[in-house]
Chain A
């Protein structure tokens, strides 16, 4: 098994080739292709129901794809056994849209939960030290003993981010990181993500329909439309695109009420 540290940094960390997924007769993904390179932030833009969440869930095998090839850190996800899959998953952080904090556990226990199951990730440091550091990174040092229901939406997202980062993953998948947050908190989360990525040198795949988030955070934007990677480029390249579908998409996402 190839560990993340021995992985060739010039190769893509994630490779998706011809990924297809259908639910009954509804074909959600019709052959999606993507590569994510080290230290890159790729934003996948798509309308609600376009299959963005399905795509990143296929990536970590929360949902099994029907056809295609997914490679994470050089390992084909289709071939791995459960133990190896768990090992890969510790290299791939996942920030859920609703934060998905364990609501029967305190913030501290939430952070310790993945750590205690992967003690090798503690790198000889104590649990208390790692929790303090993780909460310090997201500016919530005093929240360790609070329960999730005592936190605001923004705080929950920060704790979830701290929990994702505590295992020091190489890749982070963000499922709508700013959805449901007010603009100020959303901006704080975006800045926090950028700061932490800069410090930890992670690569990110962010799915969103928040154009501000995509503009600030992305090195590259991929538009998911009709189940395929319809267009890609930098945010400004796509904003200037003359392709009628891309133009219509940008217009619609930026002014959803006008259509």
Chain B
């Protein structure tokens, strides 16, 4: 029994290391081709539209609800400490530094990551990727580079939208439960934020977008044959991207902390 467990752990570790190597090589291939012409601008803008615009409603709705829930949950505690006036400061910092980027990234890992994984997986299964290759087109450049770039560029914009809508949701609760104007509320939010809050939070969203695009493309591009392979590609894209998002977030917080200490 123990021997079996050890074997299982060993094969899991080996699989993990192999997968890390493959993803690193895939990322290396992206960087090798991402800055070299010809650029597939039309496909890039199409993907920006699909990734950005089509996720906007979902991200905004989630952000709005998160803003409301956060305010409703924290308000009683803040009142009990006599710190209700600090609600905008607290919600602003929490949203801009962590909740906005992380919730948006997780939503996008589910929506965009699985979408890219399923799309490329289905293209692999139906030999569309092979068809591109034999027509003398670089499918990696057309399909992968454009999608990773689009995800990297769109995620920060989606986070900004989620932050804004989330803070608006929070303000609506504050204005109905307490006596606060929009000018006062947002004034306090912005006065509590410093560049050290905004810059690291914004920079990490580019990495979040990159991770979502990279994992979605990787899982889809190397999808195994069959419809089960497509489903697995979509599913594992979400799982792995979500896991990596937490890892990137952890690293981002560590790095940002160094700057705070200095």
Chain A interface residues (CB < 8 Å from chain B)? 57, 60, 62, 82, 86-87, 89-90, 92, 94, 96-98, 100-104, 113-114, 117-118, 163, 167
Find chain A residues with CB under 8 A from B130 CB: 57, 62, 94, 96, 100
Task: Give A89 to B126 CA distance when docked, in angstroms.
Answer: 20
Most chain A beta carbons < 10 A, residue from B122, B123, B131, B137: B131
Interface flag for B136 (CB, 8 Å): yes
Task: Give A62 to B138 CA distance when docked, in angstroms.
Answer: 12
* Cβ–Cβ contact A62 & B134, under 8 A: yes
Chain B nearest CB, measured from A63 CB (Å): 10
With CB as the reference atom, state the residue of chain A lying closest to B133.
A62
* Cβ–Cβ contact A114 & B128, under 8 A: no
User: B152-188 interface mask toward A, CB cutoff 8 Å, 1 = contact, 0 = none?
Assistant: 0000000000000000000000000000000000000
Task: Give A118 to B138 CA distance when docked, in angstroms.
Answer: 12
Task: Give A82 to B136 CA distance when docked, in angstroms.
Answer: 9
Q: B135-158: which have CB < 8 Å to A? A: 135-138
Task: Give A92 to B119 CA distance when docked, in angstroms.
Answer: 27
With CB as the reference atom, state the residue of chain A lying closest to B38.
A117
Chain B nearest CB, measured from A240 CB (Å): 36
With CB as the reference atom, state the residue of chain B lying closest to A59.
B134
With CB as the reference atom, state the residue of chain A lying closest to B135.
A114
Task: Give A108 to B130 CA distance when docked, in angstroms.
Answer: 19
Interface flag for B19 (CB, 8 Å): no
* Cβ–Cβ contact B136 & A118, under 8 A: yes
Find chain B residues with CB under 8 A from A86 CB: 136-138
Find chain B residues with CB under 8 A from A114 CB: 135-137
Number of contacts between A and B (CB, 8 Å)?
56
Most chain B beta carbons < 10 A, residue from A60, A82, A94, A100: A100
Q: Specify which of B119, B128, B137 is in contact with A101 (CB 8 Å cutoff).
A: B128
Chain B nearest CB, measured from A92 CB (Å): 7
Chain B nearest CB, measured from A162 CB (Å): 13
Interface flag for B127 (CB, 8 Å): yes
Find chain A residues with CB under 8 A from B122 CB: 103
* Cβ–Cβ contact A90 & B133, under 8 A: no
Q: Specify which of B119, B123, B135 is in contact with A167 (CB 8 Å cutoff).
A: B135
* Cβ–Cβ contact A89 & B131, under 8 A: no
Could you write out 10 A-B pairs with CB less than 8 Å apart? A89-B133, A96-B130, A97-B127, A101-B128, A102-B128, A102-B131, A102-B132, A113-B137, A163-B135, A167-B135
Find chain B residues with CB under 8 A from A100 CB: 126-128, 130-131
* Cβ–Cβ contact B131 & A90, under 8 A: no
With CB as the reference atom, state the residue of chain A lying closest to B129.
A100
* Cβ–Cβ contact B137 & A117, under 8 A: yes
Chain A nearest CB, measured from B140 CB (Å): 11
Find chain A residues with CB under 8 A from B127 CB: 96-98, 100
Task: Give A62 to B136 CA distance when docked, in angstroms.
Answer: 11
Chain B nearest CB, measured from A173 CB (Å): 8
Evaluate whether A94 and B137 lie within 8 angstroms (CB atoms) in the complex, with A100-B126, A103-B126 already known. Answer: no
Task: Give A114 to B122 CA distance when docked, in angstroms.
Answer: 20
Task: Give A114 to B128 CA distance when docked, in angstroms.
Answer: 13
* Cβ–Cβ contact B135 & A117, under 8 A: yes
Task: Give A94 to B130 CA distance when docked, in angstroms.
Answer: 10
Task: Give A57 to B131 CA distance when docked, in angstroms.
Answer: 11
Q: Specify which of A87, A94, A118 is in contact with B131 (CB 8 Å cutoff).
A: A94
Find chain B residues with CB under 8 A from A118 CB: 136
* Cβ–Cβ contact A96 & B136, under 8 A: no
